[in-house]
Copies of this chain bind each other. A is one copy, B any other.
Amino acid sequence: MELRIDRQAQVPVVQQIVDALHGWIRCNKVVPGARLPSVRQIARINLLNQSCVVEACERLTAQGVLASRRGSGFVVAVPASLAPGQQDVSGFAGADINQCPPLCELQLGGGSLPEGWRETDDLAYAIRQVSRTDMAGLFSYSSPLGLPALRQQILKRLDRLDIHARDSRILTTAGASQGLDLIVRTLLKPGDCVVVESPGYPLLFELLRLQGIKMLEVSRTPHGPDVAALEALLHEHRPRGLFINSFHHNPTGCSLAPVVAQRILQLAREYGLLVIEDDVYADLCSGPGKRLAALDERVIYIGSYSKTLSSSLRVGFVLANQAVIGRLAEVKMISSMGASGFCESVLACLLANGAYGKLVERQQKRLDRDRQTALQLLEDAGWEVFGKPVGGLFIWARSRMRDFAQVQAQARRCGVVLSSMTAFSPQGASNDWQRINVACACDPRARAFFRATASDRPPAF
């Protein structure tokens, strides 16, 4: 069991071991009763002090994740949780407890920053601050549109993207997920038809399917959706809406060219198309680029703080016109009674005191550096890269080894998990492109994997 411990990080080593073990149990769906390798073994392999490993295991025991078995070390106490976004949830409820846990692996195609990138101090400070001063926040729902102070801060950040709005156009949501869900439930009805990008965001496809919405695919080019194909779809099917990741697109990492943005808005006006711009990766890049929402007030815009600060606060937002916000707020109240006043206060505090701004600057710099390295590693290994992302979390690339089974075998040997071949297609079609998470691409396991894919065969393209 190799744990990735960063001795330069601000997070104490014991806490890193806690997180790494917890992550290992989670990402491998380790079953209850499964035995951990011995403390001595974990310490030896990872060059750690045994007492640190013991302390970490004891903390996890206190949290109910591990149980201590006299004479046989530590075992997993309860069904391990799945990594978020994994599909086999129902299977999990009936997990086979005889299944053996695999070794810890690097999720090279993961959709978030790895836990090692997250920063504790400011967030923990804000939490303690709010717990001391904001009694109402401890107990009450936030207001239906979201905490006024938070909405003000969100508007200030939107100003930097040239999106200027009044706060009656902002609705806070439990992450971008609730934003998408409210939009789909409120503005679309079963049987409606919308355009989605291919490749695109898997959970959006599942959400649309859940609500009985039909999907039309438009191909994503390095400069945005293929506008000629989009126009043909609009002409033929008159869909209700278009869901788009305009910047740092998931999974390709590419952003809209200005001319494509203008054309999309023109088509939207012409065909009465609802444009839903999902910009959850916005704060992972400081580069220029006008959002669709900055160009046209009719665009519905979704943002989130899950990708940068914390997924645990569950705070995102929707920007739309006042009438739409009113309808979304009503459905938000009916379906969830509103958000956590506490979590919204914590985020408002970090936005107001500048800690959030500094955090994302650090993340952007580190990502820019790692993206350069990753692009070089891929080039050295002869991978084909889709566009050349200049911001965000993703690179979309494929190995010269066109046999995906072979690529996967190499990945497995290096302790790397690739994203599924079909995940990013609205209809589940197979392809040989991979989503590479920039923040994982410089990990030694990823480097070894890229090298392995270079040496096996001569270039095929």
Docked complex Cα distance between A134 and B65 (Å): 12
Docked complex Cα distance between A168 and B92 (Å): 9
Say yes or no: is A98 at the interface (Cβ < 8 Å to chain B): no
Choose the segment among A171-179, A222-230, A362-370 that binds chain B (4+ C-beta atoms closer than 8 Å): A171-179
Mark out the residues of chain A between 394 and 436 whose CB falls within 8 Å of any chain B CB in the assembled complex: none
Say yes or no: is A286 at the interface (Cβ < 8 Å to chain B): no
CB distance from A344 to the nearest CB of B (A): 9
Given A63-B149, A203-B334, check contact A19 B81 (CB 8 Å): no
Given A85-B333, A331-B210, check contact A148 B78 (CB 8 Å): yes
Docked complex Cα distance between A118 and B89 (Å): 36
Interface centre among A22, A26, A77, A124 (most CB of B within 10 A): A124
Given A18-B136, A331-B210, check contact A94 B168 (CB 8 Å): yes
**Nearest neighbor of A211 in chain B, beta-carbon distance:** B185
Contacts of A333 in B (CB 8 A): 84-85, 89, 203
Contacts of A148 in B (CB 8 A): 64-65, 77-81
Which of B128, B181, B190, B339 meets A131, CB within 8 Å? B128
Is the pair B312, A133 in contact by a Cβ cutoff of 8 Å? no
Given A81-B143, A128-B128, A148-B77, check contact A340 B326 (CB 8 Å): no
CB distance from A432 to the nearest CB of B (A): 27
Is the pair A81, B142 in contact by a Cβ cutoff of 8 Å? yes
Main DSSP-derived SS at the A contact region: helix
Which of B120, B132, B141, B149 meets A312, CB within 8 Å? B141
Which of B78, B123, B145, B340 meets A92, CB within 8 Å? B145
Contacts of A335 in B (CB 8 A): 177-178, 181, 207, 210
Say yes or no: is A144 at the interface (Cβ < 8 Å to chain B): yes
Docked complex Cα distance between A135 and B127 (Å): 13
**Subset of 20 A-B contacts with CB under 8 Å:** A11-B135, A23-B136, A63-B345, A78-B151, A89-B330, A93-B322, A93-B325, A115-B135, A118-B135, A120-B138, A123-B138, A124-B132, A127-B342, A128-B131, A174-B314, A177-B336, A181-B335, A210-B335, A312-B342, A343-B343
